[in-house]
Structure 1
Amino acid sequence: MPAPTSAPRTLYDKVFDDHVVYSGSGDTLLYIDRHLVHEVTSPQAFEGLRNAGRKVRRSDCTLVTVDHNIPTISRKNFKSISTFIGEPDSRAQCAALEDNVKEFGLTYFGMDDKRQGIVHIIGPEQGFTLPGTTVVCGDSHTSTHGAFGALAFGIGTSEVEHVLATQCLPQAKSKNMRISVEGKLAEGVTSKDIVLHIIGIIGTAGGTGCVIEFAGSAIRNLSMEARMSICNMSIEGGARAGMIAPDEITFTYLKGRPLSPRDGEEWDKAEAYWRTLKSDAGAKYDIEVEIKAEDIVPTVTWGTSPQDTVGIDGVVPSPESFPEAQRPNVVRSLQYMGLEPGTPMDQVKIDKAFLGSCTNGRIEDLRSAARVIIASEKNGGPSKVAGHVEAMIVPGSGLVKQQAEAEGLDVIFKRAGFDWREAGCSMCLGMNPDQLKPQERCASTSNRNFEGRQGAGGRTHLMSPAMVAAAALSGHLVDVRKLTGTHGGEDGGLKITSYSDYLTPVTVPAPAVEPTEQTAQGQTPVKAAAAASAGLPKFTVVKGFAAPMWEANVDTDKIIPKQFLKTLLRTGLGAALFWPLRYDVKTGEEIPDFVLNKEPYRHSSLLVCTGPNFGCGSSREHAPWALNDFGIRCVMAPSFGDIFKNNCFKNGMLPLELPQADLDALYEDASAGLELAVDLENEVVVRPNGKPAVPFKIDAFRRHCLLNGLDDIGLTLEHRAEIEKFEEKRSAVWPWLDGVGYAKKGQKVIAVPVGGAKKSATEW
């Protein structure tokens, strides 16, 4: 499929262009090569398929696991999810996923499968993630897979349903951003330090509307696992995705993995294509950032945003050192974190240490931590976890755990006093039993330090695996180089094994019923599916009270915390909207001063926020669901997190970007308890008492869909012919993408029709 233009293109441009199914009015329709599914963001998607009589279009391009909700305690006595998971809502989500994969005939790594793990670790581990592919998942850290030169991004639940039904997504083209890190990294500085340093420079909104390409000699010299850590946190910089051009390091990593192209002609053809996936000389970027590697030191966070970074040799900042508009947020962060300005970071005492997550739960991360323990002991430093600290190591997958144990890493950790766990997301987001208690302070390898992220009232400092290990041994944040000293660059005598010793072929569940005659003759699942659309409520004029908010970077954890994500429904979340701000975390009582706890704002249908980057953070669609359920159908702000903005449109809501001066005027009206009206037909916000209306403009296609309550899946299914034509070309040009490893070569796997016979998930 030749590019539509000969002009120099970026890596992002090339992958995007190679997946265009249709381009007309509205967003471009992109084909999705790889879809990863987990238990938290999928129940409502499968229910939507069921209600519309639709099937999964490409089961051979879909991989499912459980990770967010599951306990990480020993599975020695595991028999089933129903008996092993104690928390009712978590158990219900996991059980629902097992029912769904059986009904729809999907490949599933369950808790009794050694290949189970965090969704963004098992994809690359299995070779499911490949260069030049489009990869999506109902999780914002899908950006991880961009390390392979894939276009990978998080999606909301409505889009999960969309991909399951059509294998496509309507997408607007993002801007191109390049971040180059040149030079040699100092001893003790890792990829986690690089990405924290970057986010500290560009901020959590610096990449909004962009796909970031990470480049430069420091990036090229990183291993694949280190590259994944950097791309993983692209979303923390506000970007839609992060990408790194594939090279020899990429190809070596992928060779021989179960779902990689097969050795021989297929591999040679794939590699030849992958080598074209680099930005052309002269390609234009909308934003460029250059960073010197030697400027990066071991880095930690001090506040409640990933942009709140400082070198470990620095101090807790003072609010006065920030622009005046940012100071209220800084004051709130310091109060929440219990920190005083001027406190040296290496004197901050911790209560817990967590090593794991999709950012840093791979074998190299575990080796890095083990080397710190070994080097500290050699240098006469601490060799055991400090007495007041609880420390846990959570491998990112069952195969990572198996490999670590074969290398003896578990022995090193347990001897030092670390708790050695089973694979899962664990304390990264605390949707499982691994949580912080109020005011407990944690040194963490995870990706977010939002308020309550690891447990209500918990305080999180982000850092590298080596820094977490050093903090656990010392009992406080510390420069890892003080423990490793002259032994910092040594291997530590670890036994290094190859991943290939732990991989096994992936098999696919057979269809629960035989293909119909029509399907055997070539009718696709989309042609066979009903084109019925559930539809959305029309958005014409929304009038009412507007809740005024002034905060910047209102993240999705503030809008709806993770403890409310265990619902199987899209409704019922309004009472939990803005829970951390609206209720006392200890008593559950309303905080009288919070806007939604006051009259007339208890009945708001609009929200005016004067701070930028509203809805940053997770891809969870629960945030707009909660706003919608409360009754708020329009949020007005200077800017929005990309995924949140998209999720609002998917739910018939209007995320309205307005100039600061207009927002300030509307904020005054809202603060006075006056009603506003958002008139989408005429594209104005009507103000009270004869004040001049505020005009606005939104994308014409978005406006058309909102006014008419149009459902995206129904719109996509109007392009059935284009989808099938694209798939024919895809199979001819990139045959290794047609589920090789899941099914016999050249044979597509047909999804299980709704209502078909069921098969035990454990038989696979």
Structure 2
Amino acid sequence: MPAPNAAPRTLYDKVFDDHVVKSGEGDTLIFIDRHLVHEVTSPQAFEGLRNAGRKVRRTDCTLATVDHNIPTASRKNFKNVSSFITEGDSRAQVCALEDHVKEFGLTYFGMADRRQGIVHIIGPEQGFTLPGTTVVCGDSHTSTHGAFGALAFGIGTSEVEHVLATQCLPQAKSKNMRINVEGTLTEGVASKDVVLHIIGIIGTAGGTGCVIEFSGSAIRSLSMEARMSICNMAIEGGARAGMIAPDEVTFKYLKGRPLSPREGEEWDAAEAYWRTLKTDPGAKYDIEVEIKAEDIVPTVTWGTSPQDVVPITGTVPNPANMPESRRQDAEKALKYMGLTADVPMEEIKVDKVFFGSCTNGRIEDMRSAARVIVASGKNGGPTQCAEGVYAMVVPGSGLVKQQAEAEGLDVIFKKAGFDWREAGCSMCLGMNPDQLKPGERCASTSNRNFEGRQGAGGRTHLVSPAMATAAALTGRLTDVRKLMGSHVSDDGGIKITSYADYLEPLIPAQAVADEIDPAAAAEAEKAEAASLADAAKHASAGMPKFTVVKGIAAPMWEANIDTDKIIPKQFLKTLLRTGLGDALFWPARYDVNTGEKIPDFVLNKEPFTKSSLLVCTGDNFGCGSSREHAPWALNDFGIRCVMAPSFGDIFRNNCFKNGMLPLILPKEDLEVLYKDAESGQEITVDLENSQVVRPSGETIKFEIDAFRRHCLINGLDDIGLTLEHENLIVEFEAKRTANWPWLDGVGYAKKGKAVVPIRAPRKKTDW
């Protein structure tokens, strides 16, 4: 608890402070309450544990599932992963995770489990996500869980391994940013429109280095599903995380879920703590943004960045009317999207509609879309997908699918011509067979419209579920309000029952082994900790040292070079950290149709084929996904240092974890270095003396966090450093159990016992 005269704190400050294990030199070591694991960013992490002889420290704090690259086709004839997934690399990743969860004793929702689904949907629906917790996952959209007042952020594979081994992470304190949305949202405006509008205002780098707290009467009026959609896309605004203070809406959503605190004393204690999780009066924010809810209308993206937004009532922007700094990027985006400036957005035809993802794959999203179909029919509008349009609905979890089918939503979709699928990430990132073909245009409820995100050459327009449905029915981007008429608030006769009926709360886990003697367990844990710390010192040898790097630098000028562009999704289906150099910048480096190298791309030209440095004059390098494959690909190519005005937070962290230097420099210095790079001369990055040496001998001084610099120069391994503070971690865990006992393993796993979850009798419903 803070001292009586302590300075007022923000919501973020409070949650961060409550998880400090060690502060001082370097980043603060914080404890992680909840860790979600999936098949794409975990194989190399588990392999790292195995090689170092480490175990998963807290199996009760870890929940695993498959979502990113599993097929969403019918599982009617599903027998096992090996026979069901035909694509070899995808099958290998899923099989690897199934082996890992058995080996390391983790709770797992596999493809035969109806609780399987997208990590950011199953966490909240199981009550695994709780207010005041720290939540991480090897996926950038982990910010979703911030809707509960949790500090939730995406991490790379090295950090996945770090959390598995230590249940802690070294973290730099972020800045505080508040986006306050006051007023009443007009009919037809959804949370997706709100967050797209926000990103259009602040830009994709507006929240860099910050945790955004969303506040205001418009935010408080939203459901939990809607709040999750907003926090989900905080990362698209450059933020480390997004948060919303918990309130009655939060508590009602959580009550009775399988892993929520048990009703009674435990629930009362938890709720009392949760009610303190709000920003104190007088607390200061580093950045504040005020938005009027009445200014927000149904919104759609036009370009290849989530910041490229316009109202559906608007037109395709004209680059000639933009600031010079944005003009070149806008022209490139319009060329890729096949759009002409000044064309009304409602005249743009679509080929496909994708409805799903961790942004909009929840039951409320399904209901919203179904209402559009029903209301359109009542108003004499279309009730069938337009001719030539393929529309797919992909529920976010097996439980969402079951609930939607119980309410008859699937029948509404099927009658309208939508393809009703199984749970998974699907076309959001196109790692499974659900992809766009080159040139196809899609209205999508997902979160990113990067080049090739949903399929090589595919063109994506981000919209809300209601807007996606309107596009499916009309065959073009359409203002959904025209179809809804007076039925915007009508439920269309859809029967809505309690979602909680489908969660089947688990009876408290039963021990299947004898109780462990406490004294013997403590002695064994102490011995194990000592051996792990010792092993960690030897494991550090694998980290390459970074002292002086001299070589050719590849010059790039674009802003917002995202991780999809650095390494597209088809190369994420690997179980290794190496061998990705040839795939680096694949979408720009190779012809999509022939696979041949594009001669004009910088890394295909001499002398840049041998680059060990990269100079980029555009902001926000490495924005987007948490995939650590991006720095792995750069490293594998031979690039050890990227110089840019700013970086995506997760990409920057991932670079440090791989012995690489993401160097932030002023634009004027980068312009000079860009010209040096263009000439093909060698540049030297001297970390020991904190300077960049130009070919002329002139030096450019830079600053870098002293602890980061020390670790790079000495090739120090983060996990080994953390395990040196094993005593502090144990002390924190004891305090955590005393103060927040509901966070220790209940339901699926319990520390100190071998357990199995027992299903409660199914509750009968009345539809």
CA distance in 2 between counterparts of 1:4 and 1:683 reads 43
- C-alpha distance in structure 1 between counterparts of 2:149 and 2:124, whole Å: 12
Deviation at 1:527, TM superposition (A): 4.4
Q: 1:697 aligns with which of 699, 703, 718?
A: 703
Aligned residue in 2 for 1:208: 208
Whether 1:551 aligns to 2:558 is: yes
Deviation of the 1:528 alpha carbon: 5.2
The residue aligned with 2:584 is 577
Which residue of 1 is the match for residue 761 of structure 2?
none
Provide Cα deviations, 1:464-521, integer angstroms capped at 9, x if missing partner.
Answer: 0000001000000000000111111111111101122111245879899997995364
Alpha-carbon distance in structure 1 between the residues aligned to 2:725 and 2:43? 26
Paired position in structure 1 for 2:467: 467
Please identify, of 658-667 and 529-538, the stretch whose mean Cα deviation from structure 2 is larger.
Answer: 529-538
* Residues 645, 666 of structure 2: 8 Å contact kept: yes
What is the match of residue 586 of structure 1? 593
The 3-state SS of whatever aligns with 2:423 is coil
Name the aligned partner's letter for residue 667 of structure 1.
Y
Aligned: 1:712 with 2:733? no
The amino acid that maps onto 2:195 is V
Q: Which residue of 2 aligns with 1:272?
A: 272
Contact 2:584 2:634 in 1 (8 A): yes
Change (3 A) 1:520 1:29: closer
* Counterpart AA for 2:154: G
Residue 195 of structure 2 corresponds to which residue in structure 1?
195
C-alpha spacing 1:395/1:697, structure 2 compared with 1 (3 Å): same
Residue of structure 2 in register with 1:89 after alignment: 89
Aligned-partner residue type, residue 592 of structure 1 = P
For residue 717 of structure 1, report the CA deviation from its aligned partner: 0.3
Residues 3 and 738 of structure 1, relative CA distance in 2, 3 Å threshold = farther
2:197 is matched by which residue type in structure 1? H
Distance 1:513 1:139 in 2: 38
Match of 2:690 among 674, 680, 683: 683
Task: Give the distance between the partners of 1:518 and 1:308, measured in 2 at CA.
Answer: 60
Q: Which residue does the alignment assign to 1:282?
A: 282
Query: Quick one: higher RCO (CA 8 Å, sep 6+), 1 or 2?
Result: 1
Contact 2:510/2:755 (<8 A) preserved? no
Secondary structure at 1:571 match in 2: coil
Please give the residue correspondences for 1:119-158 in structure 2 after superposition, counting only pairs within 5 Å.
Answer: 119-158=119-158
Quote the residue 2:733 is aligned against.
727
Q: Find the counterpart in structure 2 of residue 756 from structure 1.
A: none
Deviation at 1:171?
Answer: 0.1
Give the conservation status (yes or no) of the 8 Å contact 1:60–1:748: no
Aligned residue pair count: 750
Deviation by residue 1:590-640 (Cα, 9 ceiling, x = unmatched): 111110000000000000000110000001100000000000000000010
**Hey, what's the Cα distance between the residues in 2 that align with 1:317 and 1:485?**
28
Q: How does 1:290-689 map to 2 (within 5 A)?
A: 290-506=290-506, 519=521, 521=523, 523=525, 526-527=529-530, 529=532, 530-531=535-536, 532-535=538-541, 536-689=543-696
1:107, 1:508 within 8 Å by CA — same for their partners in 2? no
Contact kept? 1:58, 1:749, Cα under 8 Å: no
Distance 1:514 1:732 in 2: 21
Query: What amino acid sits opposite 1:635 in the alignment?
Result: V
The residue number in structure 2 matching 1:755 is none
**SS, match of residue 176 in structure 1:** strand
Amino acid at match of 2:717: D
- Contact 1:3/1:14 (<8 A) preserved: no
Is residue 684–residue 693 contact of structure 2 (8 Å, CA) maintained in 1? yes
Unpaired runs of at least 5, structure 1: 753-764
Cα distance in 2 for partners of 1:49, 1:433 equals 31
State the one-letter code of the partner of 2:521.
Answer: T
Question: Structure 1 CA distance, aligned partners of 2:381 and 2:480?
Answer: 11
| Mapped partners of 1:625, 1:197: distance in 2 | 34
Q: In structure 2, the residue corresponding to 1:677 is in which secondary structure?
A: strand
Q: CA deviation at 1:2?
A: 4.1
Structure 2 CA distance for partners of 1:750 and 1:684, relative to 1, 3 Å = farther
Shift in Å at residue 322 of structure 1?
1.3
* Distance change in 2, residues 1:508/1:56 (3 Å): farther
Seq. identity, %: 79
Residue-by-residue CA offset, 1:144-183 (whole Å, 9 max, x unaligned)? 0000000000000000000000000000000000000000
CA contact (8 A) 2:566 2:585 kept: yes
* CA distance in structure 1 between the partners assigned to 2:514 and 2:685 by the alignment: 51
**Distance (whole Å) between structure 2 residues aligned to residue 716 and residue 108 of structure 1:** 27
Q: Distance in 2 between matches of 1:708 and 1:445?
A: 45
Following the alignment from structure 2 to structure 1, what is the Cα–Cα distance between the partners of residues 752 and 462? Answer: 43
- Contact (CA 8 Å) 1:107, 1:509: kept in 2 or not? no
**How far apart are residue 749 of structure 1 and its match?**
4.7
The aligned amino acid for 1:721 is: N
Q: What is the alpha-carbon distance in structure 2 between the residues aligned to residue 365 and residue 719 of structure 1? A: 45
Distance in 1, matches of 2:607 and 2:316, equals 39
Amino acid paired to 2:144: T
* Whole-angstrom distance in 2 between the partners of 1:743 and 1:389: 46
Matched, 1:27 2:27: yes
The alpha-carbon distance between structure 1 residues 412 and 21, as it changes in their structure 2 partners (threshold 3 A), is same
Counterpart code for 2:702:
F
Give, as a single letter, the amino acid of the residue that structure 1 aligns with 2:53: G
Given the superposition, is the C-alpha separation of residues 459 and 444 from structure 1 closer, same or farther in structure 2, using an over 3 Å criterion? Answer: same
Q: Could you say which residue in structure 2 is the equivalent of 1:762?
A: none
How many Å separate the matches in 1 of 2:755 and 2:48? 16
CA contact (8 A) 1:3 1:18 kept: no
Say if 1:340 and 1:4 are closer, same or farther in 2 by CA, change over 3 A: farther
Deviations 1:514-533 (Å, cap 9, x if unpaired)?
97995364616644533342
**Partner secondary structure for residue 663 of structure 1:** helix
2:525 match: secondary structure: coil
- Report the counterpart of residue 223 of structure 1 in structure 2: 223
Pair 1:587–1:515, CA change in 2 (3 A)? farther
| CA spacing shift, 1:597–1:406, aligned 2, 3 Å | same
Do the aligned partners of residues 81 and 550 (structure 1) sit closer, same or farther apart at CA in structure 2, a change above 3 Å counting?
Answer: same
CA distance in 2 between partners of 1:4 and 1:585 (Å): 63
* Deviates further, 315-324 or 699-708: 315-324
Shift of 1:376: 0.2
TM-score (normalised: structure 1): 0.96
Structure 1 residues 509 and 630, CA, compared in 2 at 3 Å: closer, same or farther? Answer: farther
Contact 2:395 2:401 in 1 (8 A): yes
Q: Which moved more, 1:497-506 or 1:57-66?
A: 497-506
SS at match of 1:280: coil
Helix, strand or coil at the partner of 1:533: helix
1:163-178 equivalences in 2 (<5 Å):
163-178=163-178
1:46-65 matches, cutoff 5 A: 46-65=46-65
State the AA in 1 paired with 2:742: W
Find the aligned partners of 1:4 and 1:331 in 2 and give their Cα distance.
Answer: 56
For residue 740 of structure 1, report the CA deviation from its aligned partner: 1.8
AA partner of residue 87 (structure 1) = E
TM-score by length of 2: 0.96
The letter of the residue matching 2:477 is L
CA distance in 1, matches of 2:342, 2:397: 40
One-letter amino acid matched to 1:387? E
